[in-house]
Amino acid sequence: MAKTIENLSLLPTSSEAANHDAANGDSKSNTGTSDKLQLDEACKVPMGKVIVSLNRRYEDLKAAAHKAPKLSSPATGAGDPMPKDETSDLDKACNELKYLIDEFKKLQVYETNLSDPLVTIEKNVDDILGDLNANPDNVEWETTKDNLKVLRSNMTKVKAQLPLLHQTSSSTEARRLLATTSREEASKLPSPYQADGIFEKGSFFKEFQHRYETLGIREKLCLLCFAIFPENAEVSERLLRFWWEGERLRLTSESDTKTVNEILDEFVEPGFIQPVYKRSGSKGSCYKMHPIVRCLIVRLAKQANFFYYDSKGYPNMEFFKSKKICLVKSEGPSWWSKDVLAFKKAREQAQQGNDKKQAEAGTMTEEKKKQDQELEEQERQEVFFTKNARAFTKACKQAQQWKAKKQAEADTMTKEKKKQNQKLEEQERKEMEKTRGKLETKRIIYLENLQTLFNVSKQFPELPEELFSKMKNIKVLYLGRWERTAERHMEVEDVDFLKGLKNMNKLRFFSLHGISGIKKLPDSIGMLQNLRILDLKACHTLEELPKEVGLLKMLSYLDLSECYLLDWIPTDLSKLSKLKVLKGFVISSNSPCTLTHLTTLSELEKLSISIHNVKFSIKEEESIKYFSEFKSLTKLKIAWGAGGTKKSLDKAIHPEDKNKTSEASKLGPTAKVLEKYLKLPFLGSSKSVPEKGNVAVAATTAKAGQDKNGDNAKKQKSGAVVQSNVHANNKDQGGRSPKPVLQSELKLEKLDIRCYPDKEPPKWLVPKTLTRLKRLYFRGGEVSHIPVANRHEKWNVEILRLKYLINIKMDWKQVQKQFPELKLLEKVNCPQITFCPCDASGVWEVKQAGTKIRMDAQPS
């Protein structure tokens, strides 16, 4: 022990080590290669020591910078202060060194946090090697593939955490980043969301506030809805309409009958929002908000407690701040975590870590300084003893003895202290349980009063079932994608959390737009007695609807479009008496619900059909019956999808028979097939009906031998179709059959036909049948012409859109002749429609008073 103390007394101090180095400067040049290698190895200092050493230098440099103005400069004479340029350079050097220290600290934390994932990857590799080496002749490749999948997933997660400096391929680029970072930070403009008073004193803010105050209360809330979307985001009119309907922000009373478009126009006029225009210059169906206007709207939204926003103007998932909350992309636990106390502790620790970093940046405690001095002294001794092997060995032994002593002191704890620690731990555990209970109660109360939940950026919106079911008073539940494009993939692994819908009796708007992983909705969907809007658009894995959908008595809007796997719709859909819009209705051989069932929907105004049945056709004139029985239908879209465009369609519906050439003989098989697959009662298939009453679209009408009074009209045998039992049994006094009762006019104002499989268009598609039609769209398909019954008939269509039609052949004069009321024509990839005065986007429209007329956007 005495020898050890004696040896310790011989250890050089820092000043002695420096003198020793200066005295032996000549000997350094004479050292061999082996000595240099030993010195290099010994000088490899751990990351923590480097940080401590640099921090000390930073404090010294910072202190010198404060004293710099009192120093004298040879260039300015004795007693004169240092020039400002040199002082600023010294401050910049301090900032650069501070930045370097912070980056080293980040790397140290990164090194610590990445150790566990690397150990996991090592275990994954060991598992794969074990599978391959266990039985090389009979390897279980399925298990190996699963293990490889897990390994790749873990490696991807680790690669995503690599810092930018390590990803830089060139060391020159890394040096450039270090040299410019502090300069870039100093040159950043202040954030308008964080700078107080940046707008309040200007005339722009006063004018903005004046225009905002002129709005009504509901209009103000409608405008604040734009605050939760990112800057320059394009928000569709469809989404706003649904949201406002769910929040009841738009009343439909007699005193206030403003439409959504009228409200949006009120926002456009003063400059609150801007419409998004198409390439052709026509107005689209989306709107966006200028970033400066959004900054002011966010401030107003904070004041109105309309969602919660952080200091940068982004919506936040913070509970207890507002009755409306957003789902945003986040890492780590949140208020939605099952263990609410663990989340709170993690957040407090993160906050304490930030506070600790700020405290360390300002001042350093005495204890920390002592530790730093000990480490620095140890560094100097290690560098000194690299030149003397024996002294270095002694120093190592002394260091080991010192570490062992410290470890022994740390391990010696009295029993009394252990008991005290156990009591403290027990008290802490009880307090934690008490705190957890209070937080859980507070969270449940908050969820019970929640009104709106909107998914802004969360990719996997799968919420805990025990929390999801607590939202009893929620009105708007938007879990789906709000963006128009599908760039953000959304998916849920388990739909059990949707069982909590049974408690949401006040829910008015529910959206799962664009979420994959949902094959079937739970039966609890039928418990939403107050639901108005159900948005299931682009749920690509949805295969069937539950029959409980028929219990949604208040439902007025159902969107099933772009659900490409949907193949089963229950007949209970016909019980939705309030339904006004049905999009994506599927006609399939597997689906029991047909168009006949939908005719009971007396308020249905808009219908979108997707045909997946090869034997369904609307070509013949009697198919007009499908749509004439809809009392309120004004907008119709028909699209043929997979399984609906088979080329043998004509053979299935019209079997060849050389002996039967009359039109009347062909109607019999058609009626039977349609009756079989669409469940429609074709009552006239076995009765004779006068031919005169048929819709005047077929060429055989002129050959029927009619006279002016209709008394000598020929009777058709089997194949004619009548509209109802009443008309079929209603004969005149002379015993003759009445005139046919096929309705010759539909109430359609808009007709959209896509991917039509036949060259001949539907025979009922003529001006006489569609007298109210104002918008006609054809997109894709084999149709060869747009029909008219005779030369004197004209279409009343004002908007005509023709896209991807290679068989239609007509010129501009023919278009004008058939459509004299035409105000807008859109022609895209129609090579045989020629000489049309369309612009580069394929659009032509009438101009009034020097400006283009305003047209409705394409349907959503």
> How does residue 353 score in pLDDT terms, banded at 50, 70 and 90?
low
Residue ranges of alpha helices (H) inside 363-414 are 366-385, 389-411
> Residue 160 corresponds to which amino acid?
A
Question: What is the pLDDT at residue 325?
Answer: 92
pLDDT the model gives residue 239 = 94
**Cα separation of 323 and 306, whole Å?**
8
Between the CA of residue 279 and those of 283, 434, 856, what are the distances in Å? 9, 61, 15
Q: Is the pLDDT of residue 778 over 50?
A: yes
Beta-sheet pairing, 851-852 with 847-848: antiparallel
- Token pair belonging to 155: 């490696």
| Backbone torsions φ then ψ of 220, nearest 5 degrees | -65, -45
Question: Which of residues 195 and 554 earns the better pLDDT score?
Answer: 554
What are the backbone angles phi and psi of residue 22, rounded to the nearest 5°?
Answer: -70, -40
pLDDT in tens, 779-789: 999 999 988 76
What is the mean predicted confidence (pLDDT) over 180-197? 55
| Of 21-25, 130-134, 457-461, 595-599, minimum mean pLDDT range | 21-25
Q: pLDDT tens digit string along 785-840? A: 988 767 778 999 999 999 999 999 999 999 999 999 999 999 999 999 999 999 88
- Which residues lie closer than 8 Å to 303 by C-beta, 6 or more apart? none
- Secondary structure, 3-state, 639-650: EECCCCCCCCHH
How many whole angstroms separate alpha carbon 50 and alpha carbon 754?
70
Q: Which residue has the higher pLDDT, 415 or 354?
A: 415
Structural tokens at position 490: 């959304």
Structure token digits, residue 448? 């019970």
Token digits for 799?
A: 């908007």
Q: What is the DSSP letter of 698?
A: S
**In the chain, where does the domain assigned CATH 1.10.10.10 lie?**
203-306
Is the confidence at residue 721, as pLDDT, over 80? no
Residue 548 CA to residue 849 CA, distance in Å, equals: 54
Task: Tell me the mean pLDDT in the region 57-61.
Answer: 74
How many other C-beta atoms lie within 10 A of the C-beta of residue 675?
A: 15
Give 156-219 as a 3 state SS string. HHHHHCCCHHHHCCCHHHHHHHHHHHHHHHHHCCCCCCCCCCCCCCCHHHHHHHHHHHCCCHHH
Domain 203-306 in CATH 1.10.10.10? The answer is yes
